[in-house]
Amino acid sequence: MDIRPIHNEADYELALREVSAYFDNEPELGTEDGDRFEILLTLVEAYEAKRFPMDLPDPIEAIKFRMDQQGLTARDLEPAIGKRNRVYEILNGKRNLTLAMIWKLHTMFGIPAECLIKPPSRAEDTEMA
């Protein structure tokens, strides 16, 4: 197997071309082509993570996104957050999530915990900085 690390944009473009050929006809795991595909994907993902890091979403945006994805309402969040007025306080940024809420949102709705523990980005927070 002739596979090299991705050091620059040219290497990245080459790896993308090679890996994209496998998407139309994905090889079986454990075969030589399957191993090559898996290694190329790992290299591309590592390069992209280093070169194009992505910030985690705002916790409130993560909750709203999951609500939209799953067709959830404020009432559906009550078991994780508390009474409906508490849910709205959270969704409107008037109250911070507690550790218990974060854990329940993560376990009940599959929202990544690392998204929920990020401090919310509010206008007053950036003005104070």
Tens-place pLDDT, residues 51-78:
988 788 899 999 999 999 999 999 999 9
Domain count, the chain: 2
Q: Is residue 21 part of a domain?
A: yes
Q: Which domain holds residue 68?
A: 59-120
Report residue 81's pLDDT band, with 50, 70 and 90 as the boundaries. very high
Q: What pLDDT, on the 0 to 100 scale, is given for residue 1?
A: 64
Query: In the chain, count of helices (H) and strands (E)?
Result: 8, 0
Is the pTM for the entire model greater than 0.75?
A: no
Q: Is residue 127 part of a domain?
A: no
81 lies in the same domain as 112? yes
28 lies in the same domain as 78? no
Q: Is residue 68 part of a domain?
A: yes
Q: Is residue 32 part of a domain?
A: yes
69 lies in the same domain as 19? no
- Within 13 Å, how many C-alpha atoms sit on residue 38's CB side? 9
Helix 59-70 / helix 74-81 crossing angle, nearest 10 deg: 130
CATH number where 82 lies: 1.10.260.40
Q: Is residue 30 part of a domain?
A: yes
98 lies in the same domain as 72? yes
Q: Is residue 1 part of a domain?
A: no
What is the rounded average pLDDT of the residues 105-114?
94
Q: What pLDDT, on the 0 to 100 scale, is given for residue 123?
A: 46
